[in-house]
Amino acid sequence: MTVYSATSLKAELNERGWRLTPQRETILHIFQDLPQGEHLSAEDLYHRLETKGEGISLSTIYRTLKLMARMGILRELELGEGHKHYELNQPYPHHHHHLICIRCNTTIEFKNDSILKIGAKTAQKEGYHLLDCQLSIHAICPKCQRSLMPV
């Protein structure tokens, strides 16, 4: 798994017949600068770019997020809010998984090397090239469990 710079992204895009547009480079930088554990939806990214004075349309953002997820640069996450979130796809040992409360959407990141090893072994056995391996566990957090209990 590659940690992408603008140069490596440009090379990979060119290899596939695409180009590194200023919008794609700007979006890559936003994700590179995100604090650990922060995930952005397309709308979150749009608002963040808007406050920075970047005029990138929401449709361009959606297309770029999909492209970068297909390339393995970004991880596409279902965090239980009815829309996808994205984060930079970090190589081992920064690789992590998500525990998500289905009531309040609190998300906890956790590491488990066994999951990644099983994913890599399975992909290799079938002749696939692993881009990402993620486990999302949907549960109810202790706080929401307490609110469900009768007093």
Annotated binding site for Fe cation: 95
Annotated binding-site positions = 95, 101, 104, 141, 144
The residues that bridge with 74 in the sheet, in sequence order, are 88
Nearest 5°: CA angle at 48, between 46 and 52? 110
CA 149 to chain centre: 34
DSSP calls for 109-143: EE--HHHHHHHHHHHHHTT--------EEEE--HH
Annotated binding-site positions for Zn(2+) = 101, 104, 141, 144
